[in-house]
Homo-oligomer: A and B are copies of this chain.
Amino acid sequence: MNIAILTFDGYNELDSFVALGILNRIRDREWNVKITSPSPTVTSMNGLTVQSQQTLSFANSADVVIFGSGILTRKIAIDESIMGQFKLDPMRQVICGQCSGTLLMAKLGLLKSLPACTDLTTKPWVIEAGVDVVNAPFIANNNIATAGGCLASQYLASWIIARLVSREAAKEAIHYVAPVGEKESTVAHNMSVISDFL
């Protein structure tokens, strides 16, 4: 199971790394979760530089693709040297957008007439791209999912696990990362958000 978390310069740390941490809880299977970028390193909106783990071509063959978010997304959306590299297919891939990542999915024609989630800052640009934005943290339809608000990344990650492994595996992953003393309530709330889309 290859999972590409697309992470660009100006990225939002929560939007890429919360999903990375939760998806990596699946340890008993061959899950290969990689920060995937157009350059060998990428630097976040807050100046944090990470080494990319895969090049963009990895996304084209991955089982799951997550478009991360950041402050430069509108620039990336019109950068043909990046956008032209994607050859994604929602028939064979699970494709997800986190916050402004939804804008990149819209620009690639991946959302078509589907309603989508995004963050409040990106919302006008996603609407301008012709997408119906819903006031919710998470929405999915078949292989296409989107989440809005940094901490909604936990819903995106648990939905991916529930869809590809099981609800039980998703519950275990969220239980692990949930605050102590709030583990059961966090798992229950998480499942209530994603259950309609499983």
Contact = CB atoms under 8 A, between A and B. Distances in A.
Q: How large is the interface on A (under 10, 10 to 19, 20 to 34, 35 or more residues)?
A: 35 or more
Contacts of A151: 151, 154, 177-179, 186
Contacts of A13: 17-18, 20-21
Interface in A18-39: 18, 20-22, 24, 33, 35
Nearest to A33: B46
A29 B51 CA distance: 29
A9 interface: no
Contacts of A118: 180
Contact of A180 (B14, B20, B148): B148
Interface of A: 12-14, 17-18, 20-22, 24, 33, 35, 41, 45-51, 53, 117-120, 135-138, 147-152, 154-155, 176-183, 186
